[in-house]
Amino acid sequence: MNLPKLHGVHVPHRKNTAQMPPQRMNAPQTVTIPMSMHIGAPADPVVKVGETVKVGQLIARAGGFVSSPVYASVSGKVKKIDDMLMSTGRFMKAIVIESDGEQTPYEGLTPPEVTDFQSFINAVRDSGVVGLGGAGFPTAVKLGVKDLKQVEVVVVNGAECEPYVTSDTRTMLDDVKWIRRGIELMQKFMGVRRVVIGIEKNKPECVKSMGDMASAMEGVEVMALPALYPQGGEKVLIYHTTGRIVPEGKLPLDAGAIVINCTTLAALAKYMDTGMPLVEKVVTVDGSAVKEPKNVIAPIGASMQSLFDFCGGFKSEPKKVLYGGPMMGIAVPNTDFPVMKNTNAILALDEKDAILPEPTACIRCGSCVDACPLRLMPAAIEAAYNKRNVDRLRELHANLCMECGCCAFVCPAKRMLVQTNKLAKGLIAADNAAKKAEADRKAREAAEKAEKEAAVK
Ligand code: SF4
Ligand code: SF4
């Protein structure tokens, strides 16, 4: 396969915890479990304050088709059901459970009965699993395709390209059995014929462990990819593993592909065999302010602070705390925020790593264009956004931006390109909504007019 030159950037590797198998932390005194840890409708609580719950017990039902159920991650008592401020700046309902320290599993846990595609998808939905690589898209919706013939290839995402983050790396080393089981389930119940596991070359142990696994399976291959950020981006990965291009505004399935993160696959398989839904997460805890970086198995809802404490606390004052890696992570104002289903890392950075230099004027060097994996023109998008020129933003395909941060990473003027792209996408969305509202209004008026005319006749 001859593909054009790769775009992207070489980011510092800093995988300090890659050799550290995850350590399980004790249940913290309380967990705060948000009802929205996924894309789509929030889950609806089914427990009341004061109720006793056990690990794996349903505490909130999926709130719609694109949603996901939520389960208790500790045993104990529901202390509070209240709104909490999320890292997005929005308020969201959350269930606070006071742990009894026992971690008693819910007695009703049994592996689901899976006999065909529909019962498989039902079980995927009941597992509470969402895209665990960070996307948080409900996995049952992703796998619940209408026409299975469309699925020509499944790409297993093992290209963990963000600096610091090693939770997927550990899955590929520690949970081979579960990844294999997950692939077998997709082969059996979805009729998947071809599976490609994409892993960056700078993880040779993962390439080997997955390669050994694949050699004993039918229709599974491992592709060692150049270590270039953002190799793990869905569209980038599809292109570099299969040569297929996902058209603008379309889904991977439109290119015959489904991408599933390796940890998501392993979590699904665990549920299918044990009946224990998603209640805990391997989280990489690292950054220049953290005393003893580790991979931690944490109950969902544990506070960031409890994970930092488990890692010996801070060796210097953290100036920036992030959900996720330094390229796409989200900064939070304090360490009270909880581990969520899609949290794969939390970082605490000291002053040296946290302070960003002041932006200066664009020097039109074109580095941002060279770096963009989607061949966008970030400097031009910034100029169009500054003029609020929505038509030009559309021409520049600003909506395609996956906010990977490559452009900002290489920009010598330190322009805030990712933030501007986010705002540009928001501007397009607002314009689309206004146009739709206007079209709906006109259609309504036309219908009313036609109705009146019909009544006169
Ligand atoms: S324009 Fe978007 S997709 Fe391209 S490099 Fe910048 S953040 Fe990434
Ligand atoms: S990399 Fe920065 S300075 Fe260079 S063209 Fe892009 S925005 Fe301008």
For 123-181, what is each residue's pLDDT tens digit? Answer: 999 999 999 987 788 999 999 999 999 999 999 999 999 999 999 999 999 999 999 99
Query: Which residue reads 């909490």 in tokens?
Result: 84
Which of 406, 381, 422 lies closest to 327 in space, CA to CA? Answer: 406
CB count in 10 Å sphere of residue 185:
21
Report the nearest-CA residue for atom 2 of ligand 1.
401
Residue type at 373?
A: P
Q: What are phi and psi of 345, to 5 degrees?
A: -160, 150
Report the nearest-CA residue for atom 6 of ligand 1.
407
How far, in Å, from the CA of 317 to the mean position of ligand 1? 31
244: its two tokens: 């297929």
Report the nearest-CA residue for atom 5 of ligand 1.
372
Whole-Å CA distances, 90 to 83, 85, 424, 429 = 10, 6, 20, 18
Residue-by-residue pLDDT tens, the chain, 457 positions: 555 556 788 888 889 999 999 999 999 999 999 999 888 899 999 999 999 999 999 999 999 999 999 999 999 999 999 999 888 778 999 999 999 999 999 998 999 999 999 999 999 999 999 999 877 889 999 999 999 999 999 999 999 999 999 999 999 999 999 999 999 999 999 999 999 999 999 999 999 999 999 999 999 999 999 988 998 888 889 999 999 988 878 899 999 999 999 999 999 999 999 999 999 999 999 999 999 999 999 999 999 999 999 999 999 999 999 999 999 898 999 999 999 999 999 999 999 988 778 899 999 999 999 999 988 999 999 999 999 999 999 999 999 999 999 999 999 999 999 999 999 999 999 999 999 999 999 999 999 988 888 887 7
User: Is residue 393 within 8 Å of residue 428, measured between CB atoms?
Assistant: yes
Structure confidence by residue, pLDDT tens digits, 180-224: 999 999 999 999 999 999 999 999 999 999 999 999 999 999 999
Q: What are phi and psi of 130, to 5 degrees?
A: -125, 175
The residues spanned by each domain of the chain are: 108-274, 363-457
Q: Rounded to whole angstroms, how far apart are CA atoms 156 and 223?
A: 10
Q: Rounded to whole angstroms, how far apart are CA atoms 312 and 140?
A: 38
Report the nearest-CA residue for atom 6 of ligand 2.
368
302: its two tokens: 């544990």
Rg of the chain in Å (alpha carbons): 23
> What kind of architecture, by CATH, is found in domain 108-274?
3-Layer(aba) Sandwich (3.40)
How far, in Å, from the CA of 257 to the mean position of ligand 2? 34
User: Is residue 123 within 8 Å of residue 272, measured between CB atoms?
Assistant: yes
User: Is residue 273 within 8 Å of residue 111, measured between CB atoms?
Assistant: yes
How far, in Å, from the CA of 405 to the mean position of ligand 1? 6
Q: Is 407 in the pocket of ligand 1 (CB under 6 A)?
A: yes
Q: Where are the beta strands (DSSP E) in 172-302?
A: 195-200, 220-225, 257-261, 280-286, 294-299
The residues near 344 (Cβ < 8 Å, ≥ 6 apart) are 132, 133, 134, 165, 167, 168, 263, 281, 282, 283, 284, 324
pTM of the model: 0.90
Percentages of the chain per state (helix, strand, coil), in multiples of 5: 35, 20, 45
Q: Is 362 in the pocket of ligand 2 (CB under 6 A)?
A: yes
Tell whether the torsion through CA atoms of 429, 67, 233 and 296 is positive or negative. Answer: positive
